[in-house]
Amino acid sequence: MAGVLALLACAAPGAQAAESPAQVQARGLAAFVHRCGMCHREGGTGTYILARRLGAEQSLLEKRTDLQPLYVRTVVRWGLQNMPRLSRVEVPDADLDAIISYLLAPKPAAKP
C-alpha cells in the first residue's frame, strides 16, 4: 500500500520539479512558434492586420513591451476581430502560460 501511495504522490500535479525561468521561456518560444507563429511572426497575417490597426511598431507581438497577461489570455480564449478564439484543446493552459511568459519577458535593449 505504501508503494502505491508513493507512486500517486509522484504523479500529483505539484510533484514535478519546478521549471527555471529559462526553461519556461524556451517552452514559451517553442509553443509560440508552433501555435501562433504562422500568423504572429514576421510576414504573418496577424502581423499585417496589427500593422494596419496599430502601426508597424506594434505588429510583432514578440517585440512588444506593452502586452498584459490578462489581455493576451482573453484574446486567445475569446478571439478579437480577425483572430479566432482558441480552445484549451488547441492551446492548453500550460502552453498559454508559457507563451505569455515568453511574450512578457524583458526585451533586449535596441542597439544604437
DSSP string, 19-51: PPHHHHHHHHHHHHHHHTHHHHSTT-HHHHHHH
Task: Provide the domain limits for residue 43.
Answer: 21-104
pLDDT for 6: 47
pLDDT digits (tens, 9 = 90+) for 4-61: 444 444 554 554 678 888 899 999 999 999 999 999 999 999 999 999 999 999 999 9
Q: Is residue 8 domain-resident? A: no
pLDDT for 106: 86
CA distance 92 to 30: 13
Q: Is residue 14 domain-resident? A: no
pLDDT for 16: 60
101: nearest Cα among 62, 49, 52, 56: 62
Count CB-CB contacts under 10 A for residue 35: 18
CA distance 39 to 48: 9
Q: Extract the C-alpha cell encoding 28.
A: 514559451
pLDDT for 8: 44
What CATH number does the domain containing 64 carry? 1.10.760
With contact defined as beta carbons under 8 Å apart, do 103 and 62 qualify? yes
Q: Is residue 3 domain-resident? A: no
What's the pTM?
A: 0.79
pLDDT digits (tens, 9 = 90+) for 56-108: 999 999 999 999 999 999 999 999 999 999 999 999 999 999 999 999 998 77
CA distance 71 to 50: 15
Q: Is residue 12 domain-resident? A: no
Q: Is residue 5 domain-resident? A: no
Q: Extract the C-alpha cell encoding 75.
A: 484574446
What is the total count of domains within the chain? 1
pLDDT for 59: 95
pLDDT for 7: 43
Q: Is residue 78 domain-resident? A: yes
